[in-house]
Amino acid sequence: MKRIAFFFLLFLASQTVHSWKKDEFRACDQTPFCKRARFRKPGSCTLIATDVSISDGDLTAKLVPKAQQDHDQDPIKPLTLSVSVYQDGILRLKIDEDPSLDPPKKRFQVPDVILPEFESKKLWLQSASTEKLDGNIAGLSSVVYLSDGYEAVLRHDPFEVYVREKAGNRRVVSLNSHGLFDFEQLRVKKEDEDWEERFRGHTDTRPYGPQSISFDVSFYESDFVYGIPEHASSFALKPTRGPGVEESEPYRLFNLDVFEYVHDSPFGIYGSIPFMVSHGKSGKSSGFFWLNAAEMQIDVLAKGWDAEDGILMPIDQNRIDTFWMTEAGIVDTFFFIGPGPKDVVKQYMSVTGLPAMPQLFSTAYHQCRWNYRDEEDVENVDSKFDEHDIPYDVLWLDIEHTDGKRYFTWDKLLFPHPEEMQRKLAAKGRHMVTIVDPHIKRDDSFDLHKDASQRGYYVKDATGKDFDGWCWPGSSSYPDVLNPEIRSWWSEKFSYKNYVGSTPSLYIWNDMNEPSVFNGPEVTMPRDVLHLGGVEHRELHNAYGYYFHMATADGLVKRGDGKDRPFVLSRAFFAGSQRYGAVWTGDNSADWDHLRVSVPMILSLGLTGMSFSGADVGGFFGNPEPELLVRWYQLGAYYPFFRGHAHHDTKRREPWLFGERNTALMRDAIRIRYTLLPYFYTLFREANVTGVPVVRPLWMEFPSDEAAFSNDEAFMVGNSLLVQGIYETRAKHASVYLPGKESWYDLRTGTAYKGGKTHKLEVSEESIPAFQRAGTIVPRKDRFRRSSTQMMHDPFTLVIALNTFQEAEGELYLDDGKSFDFKQGAYIHRCEGR
Amino acid sequence: MKLYFTCILLVFCIASFVRSSSSATKHLFLGISPQDLNYYKSSSDTIKCKDGSKKFSKSQLNDDFCDCPDGTDEPGTSACPNSKFYCQNAGHVSQFLFSSRVNDGICDCCDGSDEYDGKVKCPNTCWEAGKVARDRLMKKIGTYSEGVTLRKREIELAKVGIAKDEAELMKLKNEEKILKGLVEQLKEHKEQIEKAEEKERLQKEKEENEKRKAEEALRETGKAEEEGKVENEKVEQEASNEDKTKESTHDDKIGNIEDSFVNEGTEEDVNKGDPSNKVENSYTSKTEGVPLNREEEHVLDKKHESASPRHNDDSAVSTEVDEEAGSKVSSGEDKKTENEASEITEGLSREELGRRIASRWTGESTENEGGIKHDTDDSHEEMHKDEHDEEEYDNYASDSDEEETGKYADDIEDDADDEADEGYEEENHDDSTSSKYDIDDESYLSETNSSNNPSWLEKIQRTFRNVLDAVNLFKTPVNISDASHIRKEYDQASAKLSKIQSRMSSLTQKLEHDFGPEKEFYAFYDRCFEIKQNKYVYKVCPYKQASQEEGHSTTRLGRWDKFEDGYKMMVFSNGDKCWNGPDRSMKVKLRCGLKNEITDVDEPSRCEYVAILSTPALCLEDKLKELQDKLDLMNKEQPREHDEL
């Protein structure tokens, strides 16, 4: 009887089987640090900067409370503050507890994200000038040189740090202008205190108690802010708090494996990059990056949110205020002065590194499915591509290819001859990718597990035992990839000797590295799990996937004796992941909304360094109608990372399965990508050298064109092509805004359209709107082959679109497409003009 | 790093990138098929693009630059995406390649002619490859020519079979008509008798008081009379079963044919009575079971039966099981869905929670699973099987088993009264009857057609007359033996009528099916084909259903839908629902082969199955001719060097 009643209850709750389970994730008001921080009032920070001096080339100070504290409160110990200045207009601000005052624990600083060579770009500060602010206020400020035309300012009372243009005293970026700064210092637990936090049956022991940090950051000359992926939301970040904003969550940065994420939400999904870029009418951009891997929540504040707070802010500058909160870690922040959008990106990359140069094949089309079942299936799919004369470069194998989800193994029944299978593909110049996830099956007969547990390489639970979580293989443990030694151990597993059945044409896919733990809180690892040196998982959570990605990519480099560029696709990411490979937007759904949101998601990723990104073409969950699938291929052909993928419950959807007409349409879409491969490869090189993403927002190329600022329907591929998706069924028309003064030529028909206006265009099923800008040259290869490998020796076609001065410019970059020889100059790069 | 500073401004020339095509003259007519050669060798200097859109000069032919949108000018290069490259492949089959294959570094033509730019050297493998292909082709031709004969025979048989079916149907129609009349009359008689009996009873009651003393004597007399009757009729019968006795009585009168009906009933009873049949669907146990319940005089008929395949009864019974179990399974699945949706996760163990969350992606069940299932190391197994199905199914199957066993037990008891529970009979009737008829067609027809013996209908009519003659309806008191006789006759006749009717409807249904343009699939009716793959048995019953069996559980993969693809494919749709997926379906691709057998089953998309069935029905004469022509062609085109050998 009981059982029946239980069933009945469950039945009532079954209405939302296919939707995001919002309740299973912590909202801000269920997250104590976030809830508390959001209640803080502007001006409540009482810290002032004292002992300001120059030491070791930095501007340093102590932050102490201005007023004497009440005796019954905990004593606030002074915090250390340092301001450093780096080449190209970068200010770094660090605030931490003073190690000389014996804090209970060293707070975590995220290692191995900042490039080692970044330190060499530090400008050694010699002196600071002191100025009195606005005459009548008692406060003093210390001013140091930042770069030509820019200064960094530390106001002492109340403490505030900002960057300004020397000319006209115009501010760029500031921190704590609204006095929201708060830094919970580590302390000893009092007897009556309960530090534990509970969420949906999970208990977080929080042995170190509260340690959150929050502060406000303001961007000047700014109309919109962008970045801080990963969210399925608009590219220009909508305000989350303030006048006119309905109750909304802050943008959450917390890497999570979200089942069927929704297409318009500030909730956190697979990756986190705490880097925000602002842009405004002046055409100028600035940026702010907080190197912190704990859970972060960021509010974008609507204009007028501070109307009643009486804080004096410069009124002649358009400004966007933001509020940043994190659970743990330190303040280690970077201010980027711009002034152009590409400058901001470059500045950010000089801290976190430039995107890796991918292999040519990985910039072509990838075919994936959960799962291509066996060798026969693989052979079949491969030959069908040839039969239909559709090019593709990579065939992917999802988790089912393994022996019981033990990565680095093969199911002996389904894949008895993996090497032969790969060789067959390789004979046609094609490659294979297999999945390797971080959860290791706890099976004593599994060598990898034995090895890891004997060496003590697993992440430990709060009691010190190997953490045991549930994932695909069942009971699993996770390597502690924070530890460089363990990363090195992991990377050895990719050698041909260790990875039995792997060949040089095999590359890797890292999934589930948020990390996904099915029975953990919010489907991830408990925050009190322990890493190297007693670091709590809460402190590094957002970077776990990054370290795993890093170790895997290093493994592929080692495997090829440092000669072969790695290709590793990762789902989780953090600042710096661009150095290790590609990412994709995870488990999206086969609907028009997800097609639509893929563009802002990819734009946000590109803006924050992750140039090599894409969304699953067709949508992972569900069955796309043929029209949607065709539109997705047409759009996906312009994603930097172009892969079709599908859930195992879906119908087969390889491009030839929907009738001749649709096959032809998808073939055409894929072929467009192949003709443009020389252009894409050149753009990947540009990203590799400058950090400017392959796919970029319109305003990055047209910084003063206001109409482009919030346009996330269209995007630029390089500086020459503008592409806009068709996001609705049976579309007859599309409104396309073409920026700038020059004309644009329809890629397919060659028809010219005037720039600087919105065109209402007729839409056919054959293509989505795509244009080449007048004044550009786009290199192509117009011969179709089975895969990019065979295109190596094919002739180029240059499409030259002259501008009003009868001139055009373009670039072409070429190298061997796979080795690191380009680093020794084995490449050709041409910029052609006139 | 400073790439931009290394840029050189140049006036760009497209030609610098285009490979000079030095080899063009050498390969002027490369990639052109012999049939097409004249088109290019025309005397005039310009050639038209085949689509008529443009013209090009001879020097533009195969100059590695695409001039015609349709690729007419570049048959031998990769310059035009739409052109096709012809390779002769002497010794093998000639071939048209996509232009994308020309000079791409991969040898596609066995004569190597597609790779002529020197990047790779392609050996001529046509003779070797051709030999393999020829051998394969010859084998195929062998299969086809034999298959064509088989197919013809099959078609002949089908014609006869259909004619028989139609004849039978006609006959049945007649019989039905006559029998209907009989039944009507018997009914009248029966009612009259009943009335008379009632009257008699009332009269008796009245007389009871008066004849209280005589009562006992009277009753004894009645008994004696009855016994005497029974003894008389039951001459040679020694059946231990009292109830059977009554049937046998009729057998004598009605004759052999009637036996088959009665037997059939008996047989059904056996099926129903034996739950093991339900579960295992094994017909061996059934055929074993039958004789036990049979009387010796029926042995002859039986031989007939056991000699013919017994698929039909099985399928009929299993259909029954499937249907019930199937619907239950799906309701179980619903519940599963409910579980998946559970928002209540706090009470769960860590492991349960892990499974629950995992199941969202996998669509697998988490309910009631011990660790065993998920711990199975064979991932493909996990993928293929429907664990929840199995789980739920077990529960429900056992439930239904019990239920049905109970039902059957009842039936057996009811059988004592000769006619089983009507409702159930109806349900089961169609299939089992029809199959029975199909199988016994020959015997049935031969017996009914044999002119020496009077047909059963005549017999029954005669019996009827006898009965009527013998029974004086208007005599009171009613002869008890006469009354029961009439009643029995009525029961028999109406049962027979309903059997004839159901037989007619199943025959009509059968004949409505699409047996193919030449009725070549007629023999598929009432046949099932099986293949075992790993732990599953796939069973395809054309015109009925396709299923997947694992141990005791059966999942319906689809009900018969139609032929597709010009009778090259059978489609079964609307099978059991997949959790989080579509209704299961199966497509059976048909191939020419000498035996009717399933050679492969696959599940390319979740819950969408594809099987390959080889059958002579697909061995078409045209195709055979085509293959022979192909072989002739291949034998003609042998490369010279090999000729010399």
B412, B315: one domain: yes
The per-residue pLDDT for A132 is 81
User: Of the residues B387, B406, B433, which one is the last residue of a structural domain?
Assistant: B433
What is the nearest CA distance from A383 to chain B, expressed in angstroms? 13
pLDDT tens digits for A649-703?
899 999 999 999 999 999 999 999 999 999 999 999 999 999 999 999 999 999 9
What is the nearest CA distance from B82 to chain A, expressed in angstroms? 10
Non-local CB neighbours of A749 within 8 Å, separated by 6+ positions: none
Does residue B194 fall inside a structural domain? no
CA angle, A145 then A146 then A150, to 5°: 95
Contacts of A518 in chain B (CB under 8 A): 353-358
Contacts of B374 in chain A (CB under 8 A): 474
B389, B529: one domain: no
Report the residue from A648, A811, A834 with minimal CB separation from B606. A648
What is the nearest CA distance from A229 to chain B, expressed in angstroms? 24
What is the nearest CA distance from B341 to chain A, expressed in angstroms? 5
Report the C-alpha gap between A113 and A619 in whole angstroms. Answer: 32
Task: State the amino acid at position A772 in one-letter form.
Answer: Q
Q: Does B178 touch chain A (CB under 8 A)?
A: no
Does residue B241 fall inside a structural domain? no
- What residue spans of A110-231 are helical by DSSP H? none
Q: Rounded to the nearest 10 degrees, what angle do helices A626-636 and A592-607 cross at? A: 10
Report the residue from A11, A24, A652 with minimal CB separation from B338. A11
The CA distances from residue A744 to A666, A682, A772, A803, in Å, are 25, 21, 5, 9
Q: Which domain holds residue B371?
A: 254-433
Contact (CB, 8 A) for B397 and B374: no
Residue B510 has pLDDT above 60, yes or no: yes
**Contact (CB<8Å) A523/B357:** yes
Contact map slice: B 461-500 vs A, CB within 8 A: none
Does residue B318 fall inside a structural domain? yes
B428, B526: one domain: no
Phi, psi of A407 (to 5 degrees): -65, 160
Report the residue from B347, B360, B608 with minimal CB separation from A651. B608
Report the residue from A21, A429, A474 with minimal CB separation from B374. A474
B535, B419: one domain: no
Contact (CB, 8 A) for A555 and A490: yes
**Contact (CB<8Å) A685/B3:** yes
Does residue B223 fall inside a structural domain? no
pLDDT tens digits for B180-196?
888 888 888 778 877 87
Residue A38 has pLDDT above 90, yes or no: yes
Choosing from A587, A616, A701, A705, which is the catalytic residue?
A: A587
Residue A482 has pLDDT above 50, yes or no: yes
Number of A:B CB contacts under 8 A? 184
Choosing from A295, A511, A701, A712, which is the catalytic residue?
A: A511
Q: Is A514 a catalytic residue?
A: yes
Does residue B568 fall inside a structural domain? yes
**Contact (CB<8Å) A17/B18:** no
Report the C-alpha gap between A185 and A77 in whole angstroms. Answer: 8
The whole-number average pLDDT for the span A296-311 is 89
What is the nearest CA distance from B600 to chain A, expressed in angstroms? 13
B421, B547: one domain: no
Does residue B118 fall inside a structural domain? yes
Q: Does B421 touch chain A (CB under 8 A)?
A: no
List the single range of A156-160, A164-168, A308-312, B88-92 with lowest mean pLDDT.
A308-312
Q: Is A398 a catalytic residue?
A: no
Choosing from A514, A536, A554, A686, which is the catalytic residue?
A: A514
CATH assignment at residue B617: 2.70.130.10
User: Of the residues B413, B433, B453, which one is the last residue of a structural domain?
Assistant: B433
Does residue B101 fall inside a structural domain? yes
For residue B617, what pLDDT band results from cuts at 50, 70 and 90? very high
Pairing of β B608-615 and β B597-605: antiparallel
- What residue spans of A13-121 are helical by DSSP H? 32-39
For residue B427, what pLDDT band results from cuts at 50, 70 and 90? very low
pLDDT tens digits for A584-602?
999 999 999 999 999 999 9
B427, B557: one domain: no
Contacts of A797 in chain B (CB under 8 A): 14, 17
Secondary structure (3-state) at A487: helix
Q: Is A561 a catalytic residue?
A: no
Average pLDDT across chain A, whole number: 94
Among all residues of chain A, which has the CA nearest to that of B378?
Answer: A404
Q: What is the number of structural domains in chain B?
A: 3
The per-residue pLDDT for B579 is 75
Phi, psi of A798 (to 5 degrees): -105, 125
Report the residue from A201, A411, A785 with minimal CB separation from B380. A411
The per-residue pLDDT for B27 is 63
Best of A649, A652, A789, A832 to disrupt the B interface by mutation (most B CBs within 10 Å)? Answer: A649
Element (H, E) at A550: helix A544-559
- Whether cis (ω within 30° of 0) applies to the bond prior to A371 is yes
The per-residue pLDDT for B220 is 63
**Contact (CB<8Å) A786/B106:** yes
User: Of the residues B98, B124, B150, which one is the last residue of a structural domain?
Assistant: B124
The per-residue pLDDT for A474 is 96
Report the C-alpha gap between A506 and A494 in whole angstroms. Answer: 10
Report the residue from A10, A15, A648 with minimal CB separation from B339. A10
Q: Does B118 touch chain A (CB under 8 A)?
A: no
Does residue B527 fall inside a structural domain? yes
The per-residue pLDDT for B178 is 85
What is the nearest CA distance from B121 to chain A, expressed in angstroms? 15
Assembly ipTM: 0.86
**Contact (CB<8Å) A811/B605:** no
B301, B429: one domain: yes
Among all residues of chain B, which has the CA nearest to that of A12?
Answer: B338
Q: How many residues does chain B have?
A: 645
B272, B402: one domain: yes
Non-local CB neighbours of A203 within 8 Å, separated by 6+ positions: A196, A197
